[in-house]
Structure 1
Amino acid sequence: MGSLVLVHKIMLYLWFVAWICLGLCSAYNENNCTSNEIGLGTRYSCKSTQDSCETFVVYRANKNFNTISSVSKLFNKSSDEVLLKNNLVSSSLSLVLRQGKEVLIPVNCTCSGTYYQTSLSYRVLDNTTFSEVACGVFEGLLSRLTLAEENLSQGNEPEAGSELHVPLMCVCPDSENSTWSKKVKYLVTYPLIAEDDPDKVSQKFQISPGEFCAVNNLNSKSTVYPNTVVLVPLEDGPIRILDLPDSPSPPPGFLPTNPVNKSQQYIKPSHLYIAGCVIGFLLLITLLASGFYIKRLRKIEVVHSFSPTNSLTLWSPTRSSQISTQTGKSNTTWCLSPDLLVGIKYYLLNYTIEELQKGTKNFSQENNISSEGDFVYKGRVNDVEVMVKRMRLEDTRKVIDLHSKINHINIVNLLGVCYGESNDSWSYLVFELPKNGCLRDCLSDRCNPLNWYKRTQIAFDIATCLYYLHCCSFPSYAHMNVSSRNIFITADCRGKLADVGRALAASATLSKSNNGVEIPKGLVAPEFLSHGSVSEKVDIFAFGVVLLELISGRENFDGKAMKDSLGFLLGEASEGGCFEGLWSFMDPNLKDYSLPEALCLSFLAKDCVADDPLHRPSMDDIMKVLAKMV
């Protein structure tokens, strides 16, 4: 009897941990189109293969599909049928629709296997990604994960000429479900965009917010997110989508714009006065900003105590020529961009080789801080602790170009550069050196171990940084060398990612081969070793290894050792069960930690290091888990 009670408690505990990790999910799925996380709203379940109905999906005109004819062809529908359902005449067939114009597409929704879907085929013209097809071409009417699972024969990504099976999301009303009105005939699949909310969607379709929330299992305080899908319940009769006057639908992937009143024939004189005041105010702000900018540059000279050979270089990838100016105190070289904002955003110190040799004790071996054979040295230059990395001139230019495009608090700052005398000689990049050194050294310090809170904070810091590279940069970047030795810890125990110069654009052209990319050290994602694939999924695998190191304190995982270590999560532990396995896996230097969070982080790490990249979470998914711990 006692053992049954224990098993029952363990099951309740595991359920609680799973709830923490994944969050409870209703019919509305909060995960965006590119997410790898499966929720109850990712696809809609059905009861019988006999279930089918006529319904609608909403599609927005865009630059590639901007006529009724092209949209109809995409969905394999008759143009006349689409015109009829949208109350348009035949003369509108070739009319170019405004971007973002919402079009009703009639579809036949059937129960296929266990899910409702409307099946289409789509021929890929150029090399692309599942995300681009699902979230771009079909605007989120199915998830990237669903499209990938339905086309496993295509490999990691579809190639030009391949034909994809596209199961769009749809659902048929269930008259036995008390939460839906008995009068509902259609459940329209509606992809949300920026600034959509339950009230606006309800106004567009002239239904009550209560009906909308009931169908999607939401309440009046629920939040809905762009790039997700909702259902709109409609009764029998003609369907019309109202264009709301104050919030025109923006084209997918772009910020909303302000509407222009074309009927306005003139501008009142009072408007001219207001415009003049605004312009004058902006000019005043510009002059003040320029004054602060010049003051800031002078302050930098004082802080760094420039010698006559020192210089301050403002760098821009759009211009390489230098404009030299003299001051009364020191000889300072300026490289101003024609774009003042770029100049303000990014500047580099220009070091001399003598300064770097003196600061690193002539690049002595005792100052070499790389365990991977790279030429990376610590030193003190102008009273600032720095890392100096030696590389070829061409590589130096690439790193500077990349750092000029990214700016994040959790990325190690590039401070300056020392160019070689010729294109064939070595150049040196100078980075900040956070006070506490690399994460690997901190985890190995038994005298002053990182506590649990600091470890979860560091994990969140690095996840935030990778999310920035993967999702907020344009183009997106994959770091390709995430490890505990490339993560540095500041004085207040915050994480910063180094070696970002290795980052590569995670585009379709790069995802097919490594294009000469150096293989990262340590445990590497299987697809990179076998196919040379360069993608954000390689970073997520490496991040999972870092999580395992944060939990266990161990180093030098290999594939077998890692899987053996995670056996307790798969029910392969010994008599003590899951918790006994977790306790033996935890870093013995950790004296106080949250058992639910440790188990949750272990499950997250296990998913990150999955052999199949499609089964790994995205950085968005990872941040949702870690945000609950910090």
Structure 2
Amino acid sequence: MIYLWLLSWACINLSYAQQHYDYSECSANTSLPGSRYTCNSFRNSCNTFIVYRANTQFQTLSNITALFQINSNASNEVLHLNKLTSSSEILKSGREVLIPINCSCSGQFFQTNFSYTVPGNTTYSDIACGVFEGFLKPHTLSEENLSQENGVKVGSELNVPLRCACPDNISISEGVKYLLTYPFVEKDDLSLLCEKFGISLEDLCAANLVAPKPTVYPTTTFLIPLKSDPNIIFDITDLSPPPAPGFLPTISIKKTNKVNLKTLYIVGSVVGFTLLLVALLACGLYVKALRKWKGGRIQSFNTRSSTQVSFSTARSSPRSGQTGHSSANSYLSPDLLAGIKYSLSSYSMEDLKRATKNFGEDTKIGDQSFKGKIDNVEVMIKQVRFEDTRQVIDVNSKINHINIVSLHGVCYGDSDFSWSYVMFEFPTLGCLRGCLSNSSSLLNWQKRTQIAFDIATGLHYLHHCIFPTYAHMSVNTRNIFITSTWRAKLASIETNHAAGSSKGNDISASAKGWIAPEYLLNGSVSEKVDLFAFGVVLLELISGREDMDGKLFKECIGFLGGGGSEGGCFEQLRSFMDPCLKEDYPLAEALCLAVLAKACVEDDPLHRPSMDDIMKVLGRMV
């Protein structure tokens, strides 16, 4: 309990940066991160914007400004902002309207408050998801109007707190001026949003804590980071929304004469018969290829290579104009139909030898790992057993996350079928351990907390966001790589294991250093092993030191047990911190991170915090 108390005390005044995206539909009676946007301590209020869409109930700008209680003095500004000439002009249903608002912090959450008089029999869901188009959830509306007895009544006045957010100090330093709240409809996607507001996909995803190319849902909201006043491109797509539930469009159908119907039947029969012949021919070729696949070792080798081509991450793309391909691409795999959506580059041994200077010692970055440049792209080349190659592909084909290195390609040996090579992206600054050991790496406190948050986000993705879920089982500062913008990416995903499985007592060669006790005893694979390893990484981030058996860290963090005086606790904490920081760090944040790390390295797995709790704590620091 003392750890939790210290953790809460140390984290009171820390700030949130980006906001989570809540993927649950508006009417869902759930509260997830992003259902309401959390305040940061940097700004209590700001002027920003929301996007509202004209509908049958609010067809003119005059109606819409009345709904959002915009006074007459500001009406001309709204008119100009939306490139309209008259506030009484009937707007096409679905036409987007920019509404300026004042966003302020109320308790724990940012919100902009409006009042709404109930005109007739309705529900909280109709108001939140219908009238206000998903800018808040029904249960939020209900919580804000607890004084309304017996639910919603005709003529009652409701307080409506709509979702909004203000940029934090980091966002402002990067030039972000506004965080505009945008509600999704069925036809929306992120590429359309980037084009509509003239922003990059990377900035858009970072503001909403999602990986590139996420799945988004109607009646949810996204924050749009804008570096200047909004200038929305209204005519980028068809503005007509899908028909409202309960109303089906009617289409007048002209009578067709008998000659046209007869012609249609004949053409349909011919097309159907042709498709049937094509299907039978394809089945025959498939069976023939399947028999070849079962032939022998060489054919099996070729089949695996084709599977490699088909199973990969959606992020990688084939090389153009490459030469020296392995002959392993000559057969189709039986799994091609299942993995057709994935694409992966195939390289020859000559490519790898050129990239690594014939696997020279100066390019070696770890056990059976090398760095090199292929097609002017820095890659990390790892040697894996031939029989494990397919597992590497299968695992990485399910992974698409900004904090996990992506798989780029594969190479099979020219004559030796025992080993193959897989190519991953290689972040510019190398591994985290190298950055911590380099006294001139400029790894300040702000960058360290961001790196900790990135690692936690990547692990949360592996533990909860893919199926089956995976435990990394090799989290350490040598398997975490840093990009040129000081963001962290997890590597060595090819050694993943499905969470809950058992590995026995064969400890992975890459799982070096201070390891969770339960893994040493029985080799159990679980998220708790990753949590323990994450705690060790936190201690290295704080102290800059590397402790292979945990003895040094256990002695140094003994002061967090609560036995010493408060003054002595802070003095011992300062002596534990990395001297490279030169005391240029918030003491409260340092204590918060140290207490969190100690909780993660508890011997009893049940006493370790969850990854959700860890992300909430770290989210207040970045």
Q: Matched residues in 1 for 2:592 and 2:385: separation?
A: 43
CA shift, 1:516, in A, is 5.2
Q: Matched residues in 1 for 2:424 and 2:550: separation?
A: 33
Q: Matched residues in 1 for 2:348 and 2:331: separation?
A: 19
CA shift, 1:310, in A, is 3.9
Q: Matched residues in 1 for 2:6 and 2:246: separation?
A: 68
Number of the residue aligned with 2:397: 404
1:544–1:604 Cα contact (<8 Å) kept: yes
Q: 1:474-489 maps to which residues of 2 (within 5 A)?
A: 474-489=467-482
Number of the residue aligned with 1:460: 453
2:343 maps to a residue whose letter is Y
Number of the residue aligned with 1:473: 466
CA shift, 1:378, in A, is 1.2
Percent of aligned pairs with the same amino acid = 52
CA shift, 1:600, in A, is 0.5
CA shift, 1:517, in A, is 6.0
Change (3 A) 1:470 1:313: farther
Number of the residue aligned with 1:279: none
Q: Matched residues in 2 for 1:309 and 1:546: separation?
A: 41
Number of the residue aligned with 2:321: 306
How many residues are treated as equivalent by the alignment? 357
1:428 matched to 2:421: yes
1:392 matched to 2:385: yes
Change (3 A) 1:424 1:548: same
2:356–2:371 Cα contact (<8 Å) kept: yes
CA shift, 1:391, in A, is 1.1
Q: Matched residues in 2 for 1:542 and 1:548: separation?
A: 10
1:470–1:476 Cα contact (<8 Å) kept: yes
Q: Matched residues in 2 for 1:580 and 1:377: separation?
A: 42
Q: 1:68-83 maps to which residues of 2 (within 5 A)?
A: none
1:459 maps to a residue whose letter is A
Change (3 A) 1:392 1:21: same
Q: Matched residues in 1 for 2:151 and 2:569: separation?
A: 45
Deviations 1:385-423 (Å, cap 9, x if unpaired)? 211111111211101110101100111111100023578
1:378–1:385 Cα contact (<8 Å) kept: yes
Number of the residue aligned with 1:365: 361
Deviations 1:113-162 (Å, cap 9, x if unpaired)? xxxxxxxxxxxxxxxxxxxxxxxxxxxxxxxxxxxxxxxxxxxxxxxxxx
Q: Matched residues in 2 for 1:463 and 1:505: separation?
A: 18
Change (3 A) 1:543 1:271: farther
Deviations 1:545-595 (Å, cap 9, x if unpaired)? 000000000012423222111112123558951110110000000031111
CA shift, 1:368, in A, is 1.4
Gaps of 5+ in 2: 17-29, 34-135, 153-158, 164-215, 220-244, 255-313
Change (3 A) 1:452 1:423: same
Number of the residue aligned with 1:585: 576
The alignment partner of 1:417 has SS state of strand
Equivalent of residue 616 in structure 1, options 591, 598, 608:
608
Equivalent of residue 505 in structure 1, options 483, 498, 503:
498
CA shift, 1:455, in A, is 0.6
CA shift, 1:322, in A, is 3.2
Change (3 A) 1:515 1:31: farther
CA shift, 1:605, in A, is 0.5
Q: Matched residues in 2 for 1:207 and 1:256: separation?
A: 33
The alignment partner of 1:418 has SS state of strand
2:436 maps to a residue whose letter is L
Q: Matched residues in 2 for 1:550 and 1:271: separation?
A: 69
CA shift, 1:424, in A, is 3.9
2:495 maps to a residue whose letter is R
1:322 matched to 2:318: no
2:347–2:410 Cα contact (<8 Å) kept: yes
Q: Matched residues in 1 for 2:579 and 2:144: separation?
A: 55
Change (3 A) 1:548 1:453: same
The alignment partner of 2:533 has SS state of helix
Number of the residue aligned with 1:530: 521
1:197 maps to a residue whose letter is H
1:197 matched to 2:193: no
1:574–1:581 Cα contact (<8 Å) kept: no
TM-score, normalization by structure 2: 0.50
Q: Matched residues in 1 for 2:14 and 2:246: separation?
A: 57
Deviations 1:405-457 (Å, cap 9, x if unpaired)? 11001111111000235784210001111110000000011122300111111
1:560 maps to a residue whose letter is K
1:465 maps to a residue whose letter is G
Change (3 A) 1:521 1:271: farther
Change (3 A) 1:200 1:610: same
Number of the residue aligned with 2:285: none
Q: 1:203-282 maps to which residues of 2 (within 5 A)?
A: 208=150, 269-270=250-251
2:404–2:458 Cα contact (<8 Å) kept: yes
2:332 maps to a residue whose letter is Q
Q: Matched residues in 1 for 2:546 and 2:253: separation?
A: 67
1:541–1:608 Cα contact (<8 Å) kept: yes
The alignment partner of 1:522 has SS state of coil
CA shift, 1:207, in A, is 6.1
Q: Matched residues in 1 for 2:578 and 2:247: separation?
A: 73
Q: Matched residues in 1 for 2:516 and 2:6: separation?
A: 32
1:518 matched to 2:508: yes
The alignment partner of 1:562 has SS state of helix
1:558 maps to a residue whose letter is D
1:548 matched to 2:548: no
Q: Matched residues in 2 for 1:608 and 1:424: separation?
A: 42
1:311–1:349 Cα contact (<8 Å) kept: no
CA shift, 1:14, in A, is 8.5
Gaps of 5+ in 1: 1-11, 24-28, 33-193, 211-218, 224-254, 259-263, 274-296, 315-319, 324-334
Number of the residue aligned with 2:368: 375
1:21–1:600 Cα contact (<8 Å) kept: no
Structure 1 outlier segments of 4+, above 6 Å: 12-15, 29-32, 200-203, 219-223, 255-258, 264-268, 311-314
Change (3 A) 1:482 1:13: closer
TM-score, normalization by structure 1: 0.50
Change (3 A) 1:518 1:557: closer
Number of the residue aligned with 2:156: none
Q: Matched residues in 2 for 1:582 and 1:497: separation?
A: 28
